[in-house]
Amino acid sequence: MNVKMKTLVAAVALTFGFSAGAMAADAKKWNEGGGEQGDALKLTPNLENGVEVYEVCSACHLPEGWGLPDGTFPMLAGQHAKVTIKQLADIRALNRDNPTMYPFALPSEIGGPQSIADVAAYIAKLPMNPKPGLGEWAEGTPEFEHGKKLYADNCVRCHGANGEGIPDKYYPRIQGQHYNYLVRQFEWIRDGKRRNANPDMVEQIKGFSDDDMKQVMNFVSRQKPPAKDVGPEGWLNPDFD
């Protein structure tokens, strides 16, 4: 890119309130790899360093990685390492907008690709929240059943029958995630506000009404992970005693 073009990009970015890096990221394919994502995936995780890196994350996501039931901060515990690596790399590359998290995710705060690999592996091993924030409709209600059908018709291929995700394809684990967080992300993806969203998902859910969105995410929030992956109520992370 020549100097004039760089100046034009910067000027347009400034006018519309986002960075030139973010504009460049818009043109990237959903998961073309490379960059810090590619570098981190090649590394052997160091869980001891993962604990040190996660201490920065724990201020919002809590030492247990359980986030907040109101969905302000998502549960991270138990998320597939590849998914966490991709999302963290995307935030650092300004390919996913997260102004709250961005300053804490910078290399100056947590380190480079090795630290991304380390913290992703550590998060994946944390036991999941046994009491996530749920939607309002219990099993057996018409709204629950509608959400269940929407999920079966639209979401199973990528997120699995129980919301377990497919790590090798970077499809996240969504079972047991806080309902309000799920709704917020679904809405942003549907409405084009989450720029690193899988375009296949954007196309799949573009016709969902707000009621459809809430009911399918209610169903997801109530899908239980395997018992071996869930912590006991009141569990405290011993790494942060």
pLDDT of 233 strictly over 60? yes
Please give the share of the chain, as a percent, with pLDDT higher than 90.
85
CA distance 90 to 36: 9
Neighbours of 159 (CB within 10 A): 21
pLDDT tens across 164-219, in order? 999 999 999 999 999 999 999 999 999 999 999 999 999 999 999 999 999 999 99
* Tokens standing for residue 130: 């046994």
3-class secondary-structure state, position 113: helix
| Structural domains in the chain (count) | 3
User: Quick one: pLDDT at residue 189?
Assistant: 97
pLDDT of 16 strictly over 50? no
Give the mean pLDDT of the chain. Answer: 90
User: Quick one: pLDDT at residue 18?
Assistant: 37
Residues 113 and 47 in one domain: yes
Rounded to two decimals, what is the model's pTM?
Answer: 0.87
pLDDT-derived band at 23, boundaries 50, 70, 90? very low
Q: What is the mean pLDDT of residues 8-28?
A: 37
Range of the domain at 9: 1-28
Neighbours of 5 (CB within 10 A): 9
Residues 35 and 49 in one domain: yes
Asked if residue 192 is part of any domain, the answer here is yes
Neighbours of 75 (CB within 10 A): 26
> CB–CB of 177/132 below 8 Å?
yes
CA distance 174 to 196: 17
Residues 173 and 112 in one domain: no
Asked if residue 238 is part of any domain, the answer here is no
Q: Range with the lowest mean pLDDT among 29-38, 55-64, 73-82?
A: 29-38
CATH code for the domain in which residue 209 is found: 1.10.760.10
Which helix (H) or strand (E) element contains residue 35? helix 35-41
Q: What is the mean pLDDT of residues 104-119?
A: 97
What is the DSSP secondary-structure string of 168-205?
A: GGTBPP-TT--HHHHHHHHHHHHTT--TTS-HHHHHHH
Asked if residue 197 is part of any domain, the answer here is yes
Residues 112 and 42 in one domain: yes
Beta bridge partners of 171: 166
pLDDT-derived band at 12, boundaries 50, 70, 90? very low
